[in-house]
Amino acid sequence: MDLRQVFEAVDYRIGAGAPYQWLCYGDSAALLDLCDIEGVVVGSVIYDTRTQEIYEITAEYTFDNPVCYRWTASEELIRKRREEAVRREVDDTLAWDDTKYTEVEVEEDMLEKLTAIVNHEDFDRRVSIPLDLTLEQELALYRAAHANDMSLNSFVEMVLKETVEKYKDKETGSKLDYNWSTDNPSQTTTKPERKRDSKGRFVKN
């Protein structure tokens, strides 16, 4: 992923920028705010000012059923960020208050969510999961999906849900209570007023 793709996703609505104060992404990292169609900051991109390499992208939806998505370029960068968070005694999983980051692995998925959020459009709250399958495994999945009269994506999603439920039952001894649709119209919130810390991240009120 490159900066051009991110800028196009937000239609070049870029806000303030500042040097990134943490060291996990190197000494030439900078943070740029990403704005929606009303000019409100709804995300950020952290990149290298020398190479233009992107390290991290966030996109936040703070109204009904708030969520904050985060994409990080590599497992090594995630490890370095987590290690620095421990040293700084910061919870790296928290976006703000009690809202945790939803980690995104697939670049296209992150760009789609970012584009929808900045344009105030509906978006799929589910997260794409990359699967590294052999040809034989792919064919087996296609056959199983066909036998169940389902699309491949729907079949894989069903299998993953059932696997998580069985794992939770085994670990906790209780039935998993999880709203896969993530639609909860009864839960509403207003956009919180937040301050930034020295490295440009939002901090807990």
pLDDT for residue 10: 95
pLDDT for residue 182: 38
Q: What is the mean pLDDT of residues 37-51?
A: 96
pLDDT for residue 203: 52
Residue 202 pLDDT greater than 80, yes or no? no
Structural domain boundaries of the chain? 3-126+185-203, 128-181
Least confident of 37-51, 111-125, 188-202: 188-202
Q: Mind spelling out the 3-state secondary structure of the chain?
A: CCHHHHHHHCCCCEEEEEECCCCCCCCCEEEEEEECCCCCEEEEEEEECCCCCEEEEEEEECCCCCEEEEEECCHHHHHHHHHHHHHCCCCCCEEECCEEEEEECCHHHHHHHHHHHHCCCCCCCCCCCCCCCCHHHHHHHHHHHHHCCCCHHHHHHHHHHHHHHHHHHHHHCCCCCCCCCCCCCCCCCCCCCCEECCCCCEECC
Distance CA 56, CA 72 (A): 4
pLDDT for residue 27: 95
Q: What is the mean pLDDT of residues 159-164?
A: 79
| pLDDT tens digit sequence for 112-161 | 999 999 999 999 998 887 777 788 888 888 888 888 888 887 887 788 78
Residue 174 pLDDT greater than 60, yes or no? no
Percent of the chain with pLDDT over 70: 81
Q: What is the mean pLDDT of residues 83-110?
A: 95
pLDDT for residue 199: 53
Q: What is the mean pLDDT of residues 151-177?
A: 70
